[in-house]
Structure 1
Protein backbone atom coordinates (compact mmCIF):
# COMPACT_ATOMS: atom_id res chain seq x y z
CA UNK A 1 0.00 0.00 0.00
CA UNK A 2 2.76 2.43 0.94
CA UNK A 3 4.69 1.66 -2.22
CA UNK A 4 1.57 2.25 -4.31
CA UNK A 5 0.89 5.61 -2.62
CA UNK A 6 4.54 6.63 -3.00
CA UNK A 7 4.48 5.68 -6.68
CA UNK A 8 1.28 7.67 -7.17
CA UNK A 9 2.81 10.71 -5.46
CA UNK A 10 5.89 10.49 -7.67
CA UNK A 11 3.72 10.30 -10.79
CA UNK A 12 1.70 13.30 -9.63
CA UNK A 13 4.84 15.35 -8.93
CA UNK A 14 6.27 14.39 -12.32
CA UNK A 15 3.05 15.41 -14.02
CA UNK A 16 3.04 18.70 -12.14
CA UNK A 17 6.64 19.39 -13.14
CA UNK A 18 5.89 18.58 -16.78
CA UNK A 19 2.83 20.82 -16.69
CA UNK A 20 4.87 23.72 -15.22
CA UNK A 21 7.58 23.15 -17.81
CA UNK A 22 4.99 23.16 -20.60
CA UNK A 23 3.39 26.32 -19.26
CA UNK A 24 6.80 27.98 -19.07
CA UNK A 25 7.59 26.92 -22.65
CA UNK A 26 4.25 28.25 -23.85
CA UNK A 27 4.89 31.58 -22.14
CA UNK A 28 8.33 31.80 -23.77
CA UNK A 29 6.84 30.99 -27.18
CA UNK A 30 4.13 33.60 -26.66
CA UNK A 31 6.76 36.21 -25.76
CA UNK A 32 8.83 35.27 -28.80
CA UNK A 33 5.78 35.38 -31.03
CA UNK A 34 4.85 38.83 -29.71
CA UNK A 35 8.44 40.02 -30.23
CA UNK A 36 8.53 38.77 -33.82
CA UNK A 37 5.15 40.32 -34.67
CA UNK A 38 6.21 43.64 -33.14
CA UNK A 39 9.53 43.79 -34.98
CA UNK A 40 8.02 42.72 -38.32
CA UNK A 41 5.37 45.41 -37.93
CA UNK A 42 7.99 48.07 -37.19
CA UNK A 43 10.19 47.02 -40.12
CA UNK A 44 7.10 47.41 -42.31
CA UNK A 45 6.74 51.00 -41.05
CA UNK A 46 10.36 51.81 -41.90
CA UNK A 47 10.14 50.03 -45.26
CA UNK A 48 11.58 46.64 -46.18
CA UNK A 49 13.53 48.27 -49.01
CA UNK A 50 15.67 50.02 -46.36
CA UNK A 51 16.53 46.79 -44.52
CA UNK A 52 20.07 45.73 -45.40
CA UNK A 53 20.39 42.60 -43.24
CA UNK A 54 18.99 41.01 -40.10
CA UNK A 55 19.70 38.18 -37.68
CA UNK A 56 17.49 35.12 -37.66
CA UNK A 57 16.10 35.99 -34.24
CA UNK A 58 15.54 39.65 -35.30
CA UNK A 59 17.62 41.01 -32.42
CA UNK A 60 20.07 42.55 -34.89
CA UNK A 61 18.92 44.77 -37.77
CA UNK A 62 20.69 47.03 -40.27
CA UNK A 63 18.93 49.83 -42.11
CA UNK A 64 20.19 51.86 -45.07
CA UNK A 65 19.52 55.61 -44.83
CA UNK A 66 20.15 58.14 -47.61
CA UNK A 67 21.08 61.66 -46.51
CA UNK A 68 20.20 64.91 -48.32
CA UNK A 69 23.46 64.81 -50.32
CA UNK A 70 22.92 61.29 -51.61
CA UNK A 71 25.38 59.61 -49.25
CA UNK A 72 24.41 56.12 -48.13
CA UNK A 73 24.69 55.27 -44.42
CA UNK A 74 24.03 51.98 -42.65
CA UNK A 75 22.77 51.98 -39.07
CA UNK A 76 23.11 48.82 -36.96
CA UNK A 77 20.39 48.29 -34.33
CA UNK A 78 20.59 45.72 -31.52
CA UNK A 79 17.26 44.87 -29.90
CA UNK A 80 16.62 43.37 -26.50
CA UNK A 81 14.06 40.55 -26.34
CA UNK A 82 11.95 42.83 -24.14
CA UNK A 83 11.63 45.36 -27.00
CA UNK A 84 10.20 47.96 -26.90
CA UNK A 85 10.53 48.12 -23.10
CA UNK A 86 14.31 48.51 -23.26
CA UNK A 87 15.91 51.01 -25.66
CA UNK A 88 17.93 49.49 -28.51
CA UNK A 89 21.66 50.03 -28.90
CA UNK A 90 22.79 51.62 -32.15
CA UNK A 91 26.01 51.97 -34.11
CA UNK A 92 26.92 53.61 -37.41
CA UNK A 93 29.94 54.78 -39.40
CA UNK A 94 29.73 58.41 -38.23
CA UNK A 95 32.17 60.59 -36.24
CA UNK A 96 29.88 60.57 -33.21
CA UNK A 97 26.44 59.22 -32.35
CA UNK A 98 23.33 61.01 -31.15
CA UNK A 99 21.61 60.52 -27.79
CA UNK A 100 18.66 58.28 -28.54
CA UNK A 101 15.32 59.49 -27.19
CA UNK A 102 13.30 56.41 -26.29
CA UNK A 103 10.13 55.47 -24.44
CA UNK A 104 7.99 52.36 -24.10
CA UNK A 105 5.87 53.69 -26.98
CA UNK A 106 8.83 54.28 -29.32
CA UNK A 107 9.29 52.27 -32.50
CA UNK A 108 12.07 51.54 -34.96
CA UNK A 109 10.86 54.32 -37.26
CA UNK A 110 11.64 56.78 -34.44
CA UNK A 111 15.25 55.53 -34.35
CA UNK A 112 15.59 55.92 -38.12
CA UNK A 113 14.08 59.43 -37.99
CA UNK A 114 16.48 60.51 -35.23
CA UNK A 115 19.41 59.04 -37.17
CA UNK A 116 18.31 60.90 -40.32
CA UNK A 117 18.22 64.20 -38.40
CA UNK A 118 21.65 63.44 -36.97
CA UNK A 119 23.01 62.90 -40.49
CA UNK A 120 21.84 66.38 -41.46
CA UNK A 121 23.79 67.86 -38.56
CA UNK A 122 26.90 66.18 -39.96
CA UNK A 123 26.57 67.57 -43.50
CA UNK A 124 28.90 70.51 -42.81
CA UNK A 125 31.51 68.13 -41.42
CA UNK A 126 31.39 65.89 -44.49
CA UNK A 127 31.41 68.90 -46.82
CA UNK A 128 34.56 70.12 -45.07
CA UNK A 129 36.46 66.84 -45.38
CA UNK A 130 35.24 66.50 -48.99
CA UNK A 131 36.68 69.97 -49.63
CA UNK A 132 40.03 68.81 -48.22
CA UNK A 133 39.98 65.60 -50.29
CA UNK A 134 39.11 67.52 -53.44
CA UNK A 135 41.54 70.44 -53.13
CA UNK A 136 44.61 69.04 -51.31
CA UNK A 137 47.02 66.15 -51.71
CA UNK A 138 45.65 63.70 -49.17
CA UNK A 139 47.83 60.66 -48.53
CA UNK A 140 46.15 59.17 -45.48
CA UNK A 141 43.49 57.96 -45.41
CA UNK A 142 42.96 57.85 -49.19
CA UNK A 143 39.63 56.06 -48.88
CA UNK A 144 38.34 57.38 -45.56
CA UNK A 145 35.19 56.14 -43.89
CA UNK A 146 32.52 58.73 -42.97
CA UNK A 147 33.60 58.41 -39.33
CA UNK A 148 37.22 59.49 -39.87
CA UNK A 149 37.85 63.10 -38.85
CA UNK A 150 41.56 63.42 -39.66
CA UNK A 151 43.51 63.94 -42.89
CA UNK A 152 47.25 63.74 -43.59
CA UNK A 153 48.14 66.18 -46.37
CA UNK A 154 51.37 66.73 -48.31
CA UNK A 155 52.41 70.40 -48.17
CA UNK A 156 55.75 70.19 -50.02
CA UNK A 157 59.44 70.15 -49.05
CA UNK A 158 59.08 66.58 -47.70
CA UNK A 159 56.57 67.84 -45.15
CA UNK A 160 53.09 66.69 -44.22
CA UNK A 161 50.44 68.11 -41.94
CA UNK A 162 47.85 66.03 -40.10
CA UNK A 163 44.53 67.80 -39.52
CA UNK A 164 41.97 66.79 -36.92
CA UNK A 165 38.57 68.24 -37.84
CA UNK A 166 36.12 69.03 -35.05
CA UNK A 167 32.98 67.14 -36.10
CA UNK A 168 30.72 69.39 -34.03
CA UNK A 169 32.31 72.59 -35.37
CA UNK A 170 34.03 71.55 -38.61
CA UNK A 171 34.64 75.05 -40.01
CA UNK A 172 36.62 76.12 -36.97
CA UNK A 173 40.42 76.16 -36.86
CA UNK A 174 41.46 72.48 -36.83
CA UNK A 175 44.06 70.91 -34.59
CA UNK A 176 47.18 70.04 -36.56
CA UNK A 177 50.53 68.27 -36.33
CA UNK A 178 53.45 68.88 -38.68
CA UNK A 179 55.70 66.06 -39.90
CA UNK A 180 59.02 66.60 -41.70
CA UNK A 181 62.49 68.16 -41.44
CA UNK A 182 62.84 70.12 -38.19
CA UNK A 183 63.88 73.48 -39.66
CA UNK A 184 61.02 73.61 -42.18
CA UNK A 185 58.47 72.27 -39.70
CA UNK A 186 59.46 74.91 -37.14
CA UNK A 187 59.01 77.64 -39.75
CA UNK A 188 55.54 76.36 -40.72
CA UNK A 189 54.52 75.83 -37.09
CA UNK A 190 55.50 79.44 -36.25
CA UNK A 191 53.48 80.74 -39.19
CA UNK A 192 50.49 78.67 -38.08
CA UNK A 193 50.62 80.08 -34.55
CA UNK A 194 51.21 83.64 -35.73
CA UNK A 195 48.37 83.61 -38.26
CA UNK A 196 45.83 81.37 -36.49
CA UNK A 197 43.54 84.33 -35.74
CA UNK A 198 43.21 84.91 -39.48
CA UNK A 199 41.20 81.70 -39.88
CA UNK A 200 37.71 82.60 -41.15
CA UNK A 201 34.95 79.99 -40.92
CA UNK A 202 33.14 81.19 -44.04
CA UNK A 203 36.19 80.67 -46.27
CA UNK A 204 37.14 77.45 -48.06
CA UNK A 205 39.56 75.19 -46.19
CA UNK A 206 42.30 75.56 -48.83
CA UNK A 207 42.07 79.36 -48.80
CA UNK A 208 42.36 79.46 -45.02
CA UNK A 209 45.24 77.02 -45.00
CA UNK A 210 47.32 78.88 -47.58
CA UNK A 211 46.65 82.15 -45.75
CA UNK A 212 47.97 80.75 -42.46
CA UNK A 213 51.00 78.99 -43.96
CA UNK A 214 51.75 81.88 -46.33
CA UNK A 215 52.42 79.53 -49.23
CA UNK A 216 50.67 77.80 -52.12
CA UNK A 217 50.10 74.12 -51.48
CA UNK A 218 50.45 71.27 -53.98
CA UNK A 219 47.32 69.66 -55.41
CA UNK A 220 46.79 65.96 -55.78
CA UNK A 221 48.14 64.55 -59.08
CA UNK A 222 45.45 63.97 -61.69
CA UNK A 223 46.50 60.34 -61.92
CA UNK A 224 45.60 59.74 -58.30
CA UNK A 225 42.23 61.45 -58.71
CA UNK A 226 41.46 59.32 -61.74
CA UNK A 227 42.54 56.13 -60.00
CA UNK A 228 39.95 56.69 -57.29
CA UNK A 229 37.19 56.90 -59.90
CA UNK A 230 37.81 53.78 -61.98
CA UNK A 231 37.41 51.03 -59.40
CA UNK A 232 34.14 49.13 -59.81
CA UNK A 233 31.79 49.69 -56.87
CA UNK A 234 30.79 46.00 -56.90
CA UNK A 235 33.91 43.92 -57.65
CA UNK A 236 36.37 46.64 -56.46
CA UNK A 237 38.67 45.93 -59.42
CA UNK A 238 39.75 48.47 -62.01
CA UNK A 239 39.55 46.03 -64.90
CA UNK A 240 37.60 42.88 -65.65
CA UNK A 241 39.64 39.67 -65.78
CA UNK A 242 41.07 38.51 -69.09
CA UNK A 243 38.59 35.79 -69.99
CA UNK A 244 37.46 34.40 -73.35
CA UNK A 245 33.86 34.24 -72.09
CA UNK A 246 33.85 38.03 -71.69
CA UNK A 247 34.80 38.48 -75.35
CA UNK A 248 35.11 42.21 -76.15
CA UNK A 249 34.64 43.06 -72.42
CA UNK A 250 37.70 41.03 -71.42
CA UNK A 251 40.18 43.15 -69.48
CA UNK A 252 38.14 46.35 -69.90
CA UNK A 253 37.63 49.04 -67.24
CA UNK A 254 34.47 50.50 -65.76
CA UNK A 255 31.92 51.56 -68.37
CA UNK A 256 28.91 52.67 -66.31
CA UNK A 257 28.62 55.61 -63.91
CA UNK A 258 25.69 56.44 -61.61
CA UNK A 259 23.89 59.60 -62.84
CA UNK A 260 23.44 60.94 -59.32
CA UNK A 261 25.93 63.85 -59.09
CA UNK A 262 26.41 63.19 -55.36
CA UNK A 263 27.30 59.55 -56.04
CA UNK A 264 28.97 59.19 -59.47
CA UNK A 265 30.04 55.66 -58.55
CA UNK A 266 31.63 53.72 -61.39
CA UNK A 267 30.81 50.09 -62.26
CA UNK A 268 31.51 47.44 -64.83
CA UNK A 269 28.15 47.11 -66.58
CA UNK A 270 28.47 43.31 -66.35
CA UNK A 271 28.95 43.49 -62.55
CA UNK A 272 26.02 45.87 -62.18
CA UNK A 273 23.86 43.64 -64.36
CA UNK A 274 24.63 40.58 -62.22
CA UNK A 275 23.96 42.57 -59.04
CA UNK A 276 20.61 43.84 -60.35
CA UNK A 277 19.56 40.31 -61.26
CA UNK A 278 20.09 39.27 -57.64
CA UNK A 279 17.63 41.92 -56.38
CA UNK A 280 13.94 41.03 -56.33
CA UNK A 281 12.80 44.62 -57.00
CA UNK A 282 14.66 44.81 -60.34
CA UNK A 283 12.40 45.13 -63.41
CA UNK A 284 13.18 44.06 -66.98
CA UNK A 285 11.82 45.66 -70.13
CA UNK A 286 13.01 44.06 -73.36
CA UNK A 287 16.84 43.93 -73.04
CA UNK A 288 17.17 46.54 -70.24
CA UNK A 289 17.28 45.98 -66.48
CA UNK A 290 15.84 48.76 -64.29
CA UNK A 291 16.78 48.98 -60.62
CA UNK A 292 18.57 51.08 -58.01
CA UNK A 293 22.22 52.06 -57.53
CA UNK A 294 23.81 49.88 -54.80
CA UNK A 295 25.27 53.03 -53.16
CA UNK A 296 22.72 55.84 -53.42
CA UNK A 297 19.52 53.97 -54.44
CA UNK A 298 18.93 56.30 -57.38
CA UNK A 299 17.46 54.64 -60.53
CA UNK A 300 19.86 52.85 -62.87
CA UNK A 301 19.22 51.14 -66.21
CA UNK A 302 21.62 48.61 -67.73
CA UNK A 303 21.40 46.91 -71.10
CA UNK A 304 21.61 43.15 -70.74
CA UNK A 305 24.94 41.82 -71.89
CA UNK A 306 24.91 38.25 -73.19
CA UNK A 307 28.64 37.62 -73.33
CA UNK A 308 28.68 35.77 -69.99
CA UNK A 309 27.29 32.24 -69.98
Structure 2
Protein backbone atom coordinates (compact mmCIF):
# COMPACT_ATOMS: atom_id res chain seq x y z
CA UNK A 1 0.00 0.00 0.00
CA UNK A 2 2.84 2.34 0.85
CA UNK A 3 4.39 1.58 -2.55
CA UNK A 4 1.12 2.34 -4.34
CA UNK A 5 0.76 5.58 -2.40
CA UNK A 6 4.28 6.60 -3.36
CA UNK A 7 3.58 5.92 -7.05
CA UNK A 8 0.42 8.04 -6.88
CA UNK A 9 2.36 10.91 -5.30
CA UNK A 10 5.04 10.69 -7.96
CA UNK A 11 2.40 10.76 -10.69
CA UNK A 12 0.72 13.76 -9.06
CA UNK A 13 4.03 15.61 -8.80
CA UNK A 14 4.79 14.87 -12.44
CA UNK A 15 1.34 16.16 -13.50
CA UNK A 16 1.83 19.36 -11.50
CA UNK A 17 5.28 19.87 -13.02
CA UNK A 18 3.92 19.33 -16.53
CA UNK A 19 1.03 21.72 -15.86
CA UNK A 20 3.44 24.31 -14.51
CA UNK A 21 5.62 23.95 -17.61
CA UNK A 22 2.54 24.31 -19.83
CA UNK A 23 1.38 27.49 -18.06
CA UNK A 24 4.81 29.09 -18.22
CA UNK A 25 5.14 28.27 -21.92
CA UNK A 26 1.70 29.64 -22.82
CA UNK A 27 2.18 32.81 -20.75
CA UNK A 28 5.48 33.40 -22.51
CA UNK A 29 3.90 32.92 -25.94
CA UNK A 30 0.98 35.24 -25.12
CA UNK A 31 3.51 37.94 -24.23
CA UNK A 32 5.12 37.48 -27.66
CA UNK A 33 1.78 38.07 -29.38
CA UNK A 34 0.88 40.90 -26.99
CA UNK A 35 -1.54 40.84 -24.07
CA UNK A 36 -3.43 43.74 -25.66
CA UNK A 37 -4.54 41.35 -28.42
CA UNK A 38 -5.90 38.72 -26.01
CA UNK A 39 -9.68 39.10 -25.69
CA UNK A 40 -10.69 35.81 -24.02
CA UNK A 41 -9.09 32.84 -22.30
CA UNK A 42 -10.17 29.97 -20.08
CA UNK A 43 -8.69 29.25 -16.67
CA UNK A 44 -6.43 26.41 -17.78
CA UNK A 45 -5.18 28.42 -20.82
CA UNK A 46 -6.19 25.71 -23.29
CA UNK A 47 -8.60 28.11 -25.03
CA UNK A 48 -7.43 31.53 -26.22
CA UNK A 49 -8.94 34.23 -28.44
CA UNK A 50 -6.88 36.98 -30.05
CA UNK A 51 -8.00 40.21 -31.74
CA UNK A 52 -6.24 40.85 -35.05
CA UNK A 53 -6.55 43.86 -37.38
CA UNK A 54 -6.28 43.31 -41.12
CA UNK A 55 -4.65 45.69 -43.60
CA UNK A 56 -7.81 47.82 -43.80
CA UNK A 57 -8.19 48.15 -40.05
CA UNK A 58 -11.05 45.66 -39.69
CA UNK A 59 -11.01 43.52 -36.56
CA UNK A 60 -11.04 39.72 -36.65
CA UNK A 61 -11.04 37.19 -33.82
CA UNK A 62 -9.08 33.96 -34.04
CA UNK A 63 -9.86 31.24 -31.49
CA UNK A 64 -7.09 28.81 -30.58
CA UNK A 65 -7.57 25.53 -28.74
CA UNK A 66 -4.37 24.14 -27.22
CA UNK A 67 -3.64 20.56 -26.30
CA UNK A 68 -2.07 19.95 -22.89
CA UNK A 69 0.95 18.55 -24.72
CA UNK A 70 1.51 21.91 -26.46
CA UNK A 71 3.59 22.46 -28.54
CA UNK A 72 3.89 18.78 -29.46
CA UNK A 73 0.38 18.72 -30.97
CA UNK A 74 -0.82 21.46 -33.34
CA UNK A 75 -3.62 23.65 -31.97
CA UNK A 76 -7.15 23.77 -33.37
CA UNK A 77 -8.05 27.15 -34.85
CA UNK A 78 -11.27 28.82 -35.96
CA UNK A 79 -12.37 32.28 -37.12
CA UNK A 80 -15.30 34.01 -38.80
CA UNK A 81 -13.90 33.77 -42.33
CA UNK A 82 -15.19 31.95 -45.45
CA UNK A 83 -12.52 29.26 -45.17
CA UNK A 84 -9.54 28.55 -42.92
CA UNK A 85 -5.92 28.18 -43.89
CA UNK A 86 -3.80 25.05 -43.50
CA UNK A 87 -1.77 25.65 -40.36
CA UNK A 88 1.94 24.97 -40.71
CA UNK A 89 3.13 23.62 -37.37
CA UNK A 90 6.15 21.94 -35.81
CA UNK A 91 7.26 21.19 -32.26
CA UNK A 92 9.20 24.47 -32.37
CA UNK A 93 6.18 26.57 -33.41
CA UNK A 94 4.62 29.15 -31.11
CA UNK A 95 1.38 31.14 -30.87
CA UNK A 96 2.94 34.07 -32.72
CA UNK A 97 3.37 31.75 -35.73
CA UNK A 98 -0.37 31.02 -35.72
CA UNK A 99 -1.18 34.74 -35.57
CA UNK A 100 1.27 35.54 -38.36
CA UNK A 101 -0.23 32.88 -40.64
CA UNK A 102 -3.71 34.19 -39.84
CA UNK A 103 -2.66 37.73 -40.84
CA UNK A 104 -1.40 36.44 -44.19
CA UNK A 105 -4.69 34.61 -44.66
CA UNK A 106 -6.63 37.83 -44.01
CA UNK A 107 -4.62 39.57 -46.71
CA UNK A 108 -5.55 36.84 -49.20
CA UNK A 109 -9.23 37.45 -48.41
CA UNK A 110 -9.14 41.21 -49.04
CA UNK A 111 -10.20 40.89 -52.70
CA UNK A 112 -13.15 38.73 -51.63
CA UNK A 113 -14.31 41.24 -49.02
CA UNK A 114 -13.75 44.19 -51.37
CA UNK A 115 -16.05 42.58 -53.93
CA UNK A 116 -18.78 42.11 -51.32
CA UNK A 117 -18.29 45.68 -50.07
CA UNK A 118 -18.82 46.98 -53.62
CA UNK A 119 -22.04 44.97 -53.90
CA UNK A 120 -23.31 46.19 -50.52
CA UNK A 121 -22.49 49.79 -51.37
CA UNK A 122 -23.83 49.85 -54.93
CA UNK A 123 -26.74 47.40 -55.19
CA UNK A 124 -30.09 46.87 -53.47
CA UNK A 125 -29.08 44.05 -51.11
CA UNK A 126 -31.98 42.59 -49.13
CA UNK A 127 -30.21 39.63 -47.50
CA UNK A 128 -28.21 39.35 -45.35
CA UNK A 129 -28.93 42.62 -43.56
CA UNK A 130 -25.82 42.38 -41.37
CA UNK A 131 -23.41 40.01 -43.06
CA UNK A 132 -20.59 38.37 -41.13
CA UNK A 133 -17.15 38.13 -42.78
CA UNK A 134 -17.71 34.43 -43.51
CA UNK A 135 -20.90 34.93 -45.57
CA UNK A 136 -20.23 34.72 -49.30
CA UNK A 137 -23.68 35.35 -50.81
CA UNK A 138 -25.84 38.40 -51.45
CA UNK A 139 -29.53 38.49 -52.40
CA UNK A 140 -30.31 41.49 -54.59
CA UNK A 141 -33.66 43.07 -55.37
CA UNK A 142 -33.86 43.61 -59.13
CA UNK A 143 -37.37 45.12 -59.00
CA UNK A 144 -40.70 43.74 -60.25
CA UNK A 145 -40.63 40.98 -57.60
CA UNK A 146 -37.41 39.61 -59.09
CA UNK A 147 -34.39 38.74 -56.96
CA UNK A 148 -30.99 37.25 -57.72
CA UNK A 149 -28.76 35.47 -55.23
CA UNK A 150 -25.06 35.77 -56.00
CA UNK A 151 -22.53 33.40 -54.40
CA UNK A 152 -19.00 34.78 -54.58
CA UNK A 153 -16.09 32.35 -54.80
CA UNK A 154 -13.85 33.23 -51.84
CA UNK A 155 -10.88 31.51 -53.53
CA UNK A 156 -11.39 33.45 -56.78
CA UNK A 157 -13.71 36.43 -56.14
CA UNK A 158 -13.25 37.90 -59.63
CA UNK A 159 -14.55 34.76 -61.31
CA UNK A 160 -18.12 34.30 -62.57
CA UNK A 161 -20.29 33.87 -59.44
CA UNK A 162 -23.03 31.33 -59.01
CA UNK A 163 -26.38 33.00 -59.62
CA UNK A 164 -29.82 31.85 -58.54
CA UNK A 165 -32.93 33.64 -59.79
CA UNK A 166 -35.86 34.01 -57.39
CA UNK A 167 -39.37 35.00 -58.39
CA UNK A 168 -41.83 34.31 -61.16
CA UNK A 169 -42.95 36.01 -64.31
CA UNK A 170 -41.35 37.16 -67.56
CA UNK A 171 -38.69 39.39 -65.94
CA UNK A 172 -37.14 36.47 -64.06
CA UNK A 173 -37.09 34.29 -67.17
CA UNK A 174 -35.64 37.13 -69.23
CA UNK A 175 -32.75 37.74 -66.82
CA UNK A 176 -32.09 34.00 -66.43
CA UNK A 177 -31.83 33.57 -70.21
CA UNK A 178 -29.50 36.56 -70.49
CA UNK A 179 -27.26 35.13 -67.77
CA UNK A 180 -26.99 31.79 -69.55
CA UNK A 181 -26.41 33.42 -72.93
CA UNK A 182 -23.81 35.96 -71.76
CA UNK A 183 -21.91 33.86 -69.22
CA UNK A 184 -18.85 33.60 -71.48
CA UNK A 185 -18.63 37.39 -71.62
CA UNK A 186 -17.50 37.56 -67.98
CA UNK A 187 -13.98 39.04 -67.85
CA UNK A 188 -11.96 38.75 -64.63
CA UNK A 189 -10.02 41.95 -65.28
CA UNK A 190 -13.22 44.03 -65.39
CA UNK A 191 -14.95 45.41 -62.32
CA UNK A 192 -17.44 42.98 -60.79
CA UNK A 193 -20.41 45.35 -61.16
CA UNK A 194 -19.53 46.10 -64.79
CA UNK A 195 -19.48 42.39 -65.55
CA UNK A 196 -22.83 41.92 -63.82
CA UNK A 197 -24.43 44.74 -65.77
CA UNK A 198 -23.02 43.36 -69.03
CA UNK A 199 -24.39 39.85 -68.42
CA UNK A 200 -27.85 40.95 -67.33
CA UNK A 201 -28.09 43.70 -69.97
CA UNK A 202 -29.96 45.96 -67.58
CA UNK A 203 -29.45 48.86 -65.20
CA UNK A 204 -28.59 47.55 -61.75
CA UNK A 205 -30.83 48.83 -58.92
CA UNK A 206 -29.09 51.03 -56.35
CA UNK A 207 -29.86 50.90 -52.61
CA UNK A 208 -33.07 52.74 -51.59
CA UNK A 209 -31.21 55.10 -49.23
CA UNK A 210 -28.80 56.13 -52.02
CA UNK A 211 -31.72 56.63 -54.40
CA UNK A 212 -33.49 58.79 -51.81
CA UNK A 213 -30.41 60.96 -51.29
CA UNK A 214 -30.00 61.43 -55.04
CA UNK A 215 -33.64 62.49 -55.34
CA UNK A 216 -33.19 65.01 -52.52
CA UNK A 217 -30.12 66.46 -54.25
CA UNK A 218 -32.02 66.70 -57.54
CA UNK A 219 -34.94 68.44 -55.81
CA UNK A 220 -32.53 70.94 -54.26
CA UNK A 221 -30.96 71.65 -57.65
CA UNK A 222 -34.38 72.10 -59.28
CA UNK A 223 -35.44 74.47 -56.49
CA UNK A 224 -32.26 76.52 -56.82
CA UNK A 225 -32.72 76.81 -60.59
CA UNK A 226 -36.26 78.12 -60.11
CA UNK A 227 -35.16 80.98 -57.83
CA UNK A 228 -35.17 84.50 -59.34
CA UNK A 229 -31.72 85.63 -60.38
CA UNK A 230 -30.24 88.30 -58.15
CA UNK A 231 -32.54 87.69 -55.17
CA UNK A 232 -30.68 87.06 -51.92
CA UNK A 233 -31.21 83.65 -50.40
CA UNK A 234 -31.40 83.38 -46.64
CA UNK A 235 -29.18 80.74 -45.10
CA UNK A 236 -30.45 79.25 -41.86
CA UNK A 237 -27.75 78.13 -39.45
Distance 1:71 1:102, change over 3 A: same
2:9 equivalent among 4, 10, 22:
22
1:122 equivalent among 73, 94, 109:
109
Q: What is the match of residue 39 of structure 1? A: 26
* 1:185 and 2:172 are equivalent in the alignment: yes
2:204 equivalent among 213, 217, 220:
217
Decide whether the 8 Å contact of 1:137 with 1:154 is kept in 2.
Answer: yes
How far does the alpha carbon of each residue in 1:20-53 deviate from its partner, in whole angstroms, 9 at most, with x for none? 1111100000000000000000000000011010
- For residue 115 of structure 2, give the secondary structure of its aligned residue in structure 1: helix
Give me the whole-angstrom Cα distance separating, in 1, the residues matched to 2:47 and 2:211: 39
The TM-score normalised by the length of structure 2 is: 0.87
Structure richer in helix, relative to its length? 2
Distance 1:111 1:224, change over 3 A: farther
- For residue 120 of structure 2, give the secondary structure of its aligned residue in structure 1: helix
Q: What is the match of residue 165 of structure 1? A: 152
- For residue 92 of structure 2, give the secondary structure of its aligned residue in structure 1: coil
How far does the alpha carbon of each residue in 1:93-147 deviate from its partner, in whole angstroms, 9 at most, with x for none? 0000000000000000000000000100000000000010000011110110000
- How far the C-alpha of 1:72 sits from its partner, in A, is 0.5
The TM-score normalised by the length of structure 1 is: 0.67
- How far the C-alpha of 1:225 sits from its partner, in A, is 10
Give me the whole-angstrom Cα distance separating, in 1, the residues matched to 2:109 and 2:212: 25
Decide whether the 8 Å contact of 1:172 with 1:201 is kept in 2.
Answer: yes
Decide whether the 8 Å contact of 1:156 with 1:217 is kept in 2.
Answer: no
- Mark the runs of 5 or more structure 1 residues left unpaired by the alignment: 1-13, 227-309
Give me the whole-angstrom Cα distance separating, in 2, the residues matched to 1:223 and 1:165: 24
Counterparts of 1:226-237 in structure 2, within 5 Å, are none
1:54 equivalent among 23, 41, 44:
41
Q: Give the alignment's Cα RMSD to 1 decimal.
A: 1.5
* 1:113 and 2:127 are equivalent in the alignment: no
- For residue 52 of structure 1, give the secondary structure of its aligned residue in structure 2: strand
How far does the alpha carbon of each residue in 1:58-92 deviate from its partner, in whole angstroms, 9 at most, with x for none? 00000111000111000000000000000000000
2:69 equivalent among 79, 82, 87:
82
1:65 equivalent among 41, 52, 64:
52
Give me the whole-angstrom Cα distance separating, in 2, the residues matched to 1:46 and 1:72: 16
- For residue 74 of structure 1, give the secondary structure of its aligned residue in structure 2: strand
- How far the C-alpha of 1:224 sits from its partner, in A, is 10
Corresponding residue pairs, total: 213
Give me the whole-angstrom Cα distance separating, in 1, the residues matched to 2:9 and 2:60: 45
Distance 1:220 1:190, change over 3 A: same
- Mark the runs of 5 or more structure 2 residues left unpaired by the alignment: 214-237
